Amino acid sequence: MTLELYPASAHDAFHGTGLQFPQCVDEAVQQIHGACQGLGTDEKTLITVLGSKSPETRNLIALRYKELYHKPLKDLVKSETSGDFGRLLRMISTPLSETEAQILRDATKGMGTTESLIIQILSGRSNEEMNILKRTYFDLVGKDLAVTMNSELSGDFRKVVMAVLQSPQVLYNPAVHNAANAEEEATALYKAGQGRLGTNEEAFIGILVKAPPELLKMMDAVYVAKYNNNIAKAVDKEFSGDAKKSLNYLVRSIMDPYPAIAEVFEKTMKGFGTDETGLSTALVRYQSVLPYVKAAYKKLYREELRDRISGETSGDYKRLLMEVFDAPQDPPKTKGVKGAHGAAASSGVGVSQPSQGILHNSQDTLRSNTHLLDSLSRTEVHLRLKVAILRLVATSINILPPVDTLRTEDGLPTELRMNEDGSFAQYVPTTLCYDHNSWLYKIQNVEGLLRTSAEDIITYQRERRDRYFDHGHIQDLLTLLLEELKD
């Protein structure tokens, strides 16, 4: 699966969506500022106010503090605290993407960060979060992340890192990523590794990096059936050192991330002494998926993760760790609508509903232009539509997909998918693709898309008043695609 670790407001800021700060955020900012005034620092207040917040609220606090006091919150914390406690406090006083960017910067400057943290940060991320991280790194360092890694790393480990940075994960398409494709890719992986004398590292790494999680799992099953060992063992045989460790973590983070993350926690506490930097980093980065990690940890080690951390730490550092560990979780992000899953949604601020005029305009545009398809062959439609889609992506216009993640009355995740005849049906899939651009790879019936999807989705969403939906995006989609067909 693909992990999304950044809070909703980080995605909104990336898209240029204006953020709203609830009153509780302003109150927290004032408390933090007050705790650092005068002689001495009120560590107890800092622990309670910052440590007890969800990732989303903490992100908003960091942004709001800088807006009100014209100074990063992390700078205030850095001047008032020190040691492991101060380092963790700085981490939770900073937007997560900035914390990760700083770790990557330190990793290339010989400042004690291990290579394992580099691959942990880069592995299994959604394409959008990778783009957020790259932008943040550039803003922080003034240099492209890939350029830095290419110049500072070496060997096969550099090849792994560069592939992750430069090869976006292909989005899952069940029509393409099927059993036949899994066998084809598994065979290609074998031929790039165990099936030849000497490893074709670029080809081997590229196959693993680009494969969507659903396909990689199918490839692993094929690999076991055909070659009597799984992909992880193939990696062990073909690579060594940091490259082997990074590829193994990459594969595990995509196929089954939570046990892999549980092992990350354990490694920071195993043996003599505790890796406090690694422990703090793991807790802050994976806080949003902590419930799943806790379950995986207990299954692996027959011990509660909280008890393990508590037994390895002490003092204010321990108290802050426990506060962060016990902090509330954010509600699930709403996918697909630009801005609807962010600060406004999580703070209870509603998203305005579309006017009836937009609904009628979308339907009228659809009805009046479908005759264009009658004069074009199916091949011509596909070719022209492909060009239009590429233009939409290139200009970063956000269009809500015709495949929308929904839920049944009993809470089961479902999808609204277009049938071959152009109608829509709700079904429970075995896997869900959460990337908001995934619909680009799910268009099977182009005529059906242009003829019926707007009306069907509009009607469906209008009946489901608990869903957010910007119908103006349908208008944008139809206008741009139909203009392309006219050319």
Q: What is the pLDDT of residues 156-179, one digit of tens each?
A: 999 999 999 988 888 888 889 999
Range with the poorest average pLDDT among 21-25, 38-42, 136-140? 38-42
Could you give the angle at which helices 276-285 and 305-312 cross, rounded to 10 degrees?
150
Question: Among 221, 218, 223, which residue's Cα sits nearest to residue 234?
Answer: 223
pLDDT of residue 482: 54
Question: Among 343, 325, 323, which residue's Cα sits nearest to residue 333?
Answer: 343
* Mean pLDDT calculated for residue range 385-411: 41
* Mean pLDDT calculated for residue range 181-198: 92
CA separation for the pair 58, 69 (Å, rounded): 16
Does the pLDDT at position 234 exceed 90?
Answer: yes
Mention every residue, 6+ apart, whose C-beta is less than 8 A from residue 320.
47, 51, 85, 88, 89
CA separation for the pair 106, 94 (Å, rounded): 16
Mention every residue, 6+ apart, whose C-beta is less than 8 A from residue 271.
none
Residue 486's φ and ψ, nearest 5 degrees, are -75, -25
Please give the residue that has the higher pLDDT: either 376 or 436: 376
CA–centroid distance for 423 within its chain: 31
Residue 276 domain-assigned? no
Give the number of domains in the chain.
1
Does the pLDDT at position 356 exceed 70?
Answer: no
Residue 1 domain-assigned? no
Do 129 and 93 form a contact (C-beta atoms < 8 A)?
A: no
Instruction: State the CB neighbour count (10 A cutoff) for residue 112.
Output: 9
Placement of tokens 């099953």 in the chain: 221
Which tokens belong to 375? Answer: 């004069």
What rounded mean pLDDT belongs to the chain?
Answer: 74
CA–centroid distance for 31 within its chain: 31
pLDDT of residue 480: 53
Does the pLDDT at position 274 exceed 50?
Answer: yes
Please report, rounded to a whole number, the percentage of residues in the chain having pLDDT higher than 70: 67
Q: Long-range contacts of range 456-463, CB-CB < 8 Å, 24 or more positions apart?
A: 456/418, 456/422, 456/423, 456/424, 457/402, 457/404, 457/416, 457/424, 458/359, 458/362, 458/363, 460/416, 460/424, 461/404, 462/359
pLDDT of residue 446: 37
Residue 408 domain-assigned? yes
Placement of tokens 């193939």 in the chain: 234
Give the pLDDT band (50/70/90) at residue 297.
very high
Does the pLDDT at position 368 exceed 60?
Answer: no
Q: What is the pLDDT of residues 425-480, one digit of tens each?
A: 444 433 333 233 333 333 333 333 443 344 444 443 444 333 333 334 444 455 55
CA separation for the pair 87, 77 (Å, rounded): 9
Expressed as residue numbers, the domain containing 446 is: 356-486
Phi-psi map region of 142: left, alpha, beta (phi>0 left; psi -120 to 50 alpha): left
- Do you know the residue count of the chain? 487
Does the pLDDT at position 300 exceed 50?
Answer: yes
pLDDT of residue 39: 67
pLDDT of residue 111: 57
Give the pLDDT band (50/70/90) at residue 481.
low
Which tokens belong to 299? Answer: 């299954």
* Mean pLDDT calculated for residue range 235-264: 92
Does the pLDDT at position 386 exceed 50?
Answer: no
Please report, rounded to a whole number, the percentage of residues in the chain having pLDDT higher than 90: 41
CA separation for the pair 321, 92 (Å, rounded): 11
Pick the most confident of 25-34, 93-102, 409-418: 93-102
* Mean pLDDT calculated for residue range 114-126: 86
Residue 22 domain-assigned? no
Residue 304 domain-assigned? no
* Mean pLDDT calculated for residue range 181-185: 94
pLDDT of residue 166: 85
Does the pLDDT at position 372 exceed 70?
Answer: no
pLDDT of residue 398: 34
Residue 33 domain-assigned? no
This prediction has a pTM of 0.68
CA separation for the pair 146, 303 (Å, rounded): 39
pLDDT of residue 424: 46
SS3 sequence of the chain: CCECCCCHHHHHHHCCCCCCCCHHHHHHHHHHHHHCCCCCCCHHHHHHHHHCCCHHHHHHHHHHHHHHHCCCHHHHHHHHCCHHHHHHHHHHCCCHHHHHHHHHHHHCCCCCCCHHHHHHHHCCECHHHHHHHHHHHHHHHCCCHHHHHHHHCCHHHHHHHHHHHHCCCCCCCCCCCCHHHHHHHHHHHHHHCCCCCCCCHHHHHHHHHHCCHHHHHHHHHHHHHHHCCCHHHHHHHHCCHHHHHHHHHHHHHHHCHHHHHHHHHHHHHCCCCCCHHHHHHHHHHCHHHHHHHHHHHHHHHCCCHHHHHHHHCCHHHHHHHHHHHCCCCCCCCCCCCCCCCCHHHHCCCCCCCCCHHHHHHHHHHHHHHCHHHHCCCHHHHHHHHHHHHHHHHHCCCCCCCCCEEEECCCCCEEEEEECCCCCEEEECCCCCCCCCCHHHHCCCCHHHHHHHHHHHHHHHHHHCCCCCCCCHHHHHHHHHHHHHHHC
CA separation for the pair 90, 81 (Å, rounded): 9
Give the pLDDT band (50/70/90) at residue 85.
very high
Residue 423 domain-assigned? yes
Q: What angle do CA 194, 227, 193 make, to 5 degrees?
A: 15
Residue 366 domain-assigned? yes
